[in-house]
Structure 1
Amino acid sequence: MNEADLFAEVSGYITKIYVSDGAVVSKGQALYEIDGTRYNAAVQQAKASLQIAQTDLDRQKEIWPVIKYWLTKTRSLNRFMIMPYQMLLLRKHR
C-alpha cells in the first residue's frame, strides 16, 4: 500500500468529503470539494474585464481608419506648411 501527502492547489473551506481517512483511492478520484464561491466571483470579474477590453478594442478598430486618414492628411499638410513657416521665422529674425 502506498501513502501520499495531499495538498490542495487552492485554499478555501471544504464543503464535501468524499472519502474517509485511510481509505483506498484511485488516481483522479475526488477526495474533497472546496467551496468555489470566491473563485466563481473571480471568474465572473475576469469575464467582465475581458468584455470591457473587447468592447474597447472593437471601438478602436472602428475609429482607426478615421485616425489613419487624418494622420496621413496632417502629415501631407505639414510637408507643405513647414517650409513657408520656417521661412517666416527666418524673416522675423533678420
Structure 2
Amino acid sequence: MFSEGISQIKNGVYPGVEAVYACSRVPTLSQYYTEAADVDISSLQDDKLLGDPIVKMLFDVGFKPYNFCKEGFYVDKESLGFSLTMRLDIN
C-alpha cells in the first residue's frame, strides 16, 4: 500500500510537489548498542540501519538519507533516541 501511494505521488497525483520527507525511529539499533553514547554511525548506508524494516521500506521506494538525528525520539528506549529523516525527490 505504501509503495502504491508513493507511485501515485511520483506520477503526479499532487501537482507541484517536488519532494516528500519521511522520518523513522530506528529500533533495530538496540540489538547492537545498549547506550546512545556507544553508537558511532559513520555511514547512513550501514547494515544496522538497513536492517530496520521501516528504513528499508523507505529505501526500497527511492528515499535517500537526509538527516540522522541523535535526539529524535528521546523517550524511545528501543531506538536509543535515534531517528532517520529521508527525502524522496519527485521529478
TM range, normalised to the smaller chain?
Answer: under 0.3
**What is the TM-score when the length of structure 1 is the normalising length?**
0.21
Larger helix proportion, structure 1 or 2? 1
Higher-strand-fraction structure = 2
Q: Which has the higher contact order (CA 8 A, sep 6+)?
A: 2
Asked which structure has the greater CA Rg, the reply is: 1
TM-score under structure 2 length normalisation: 0.22
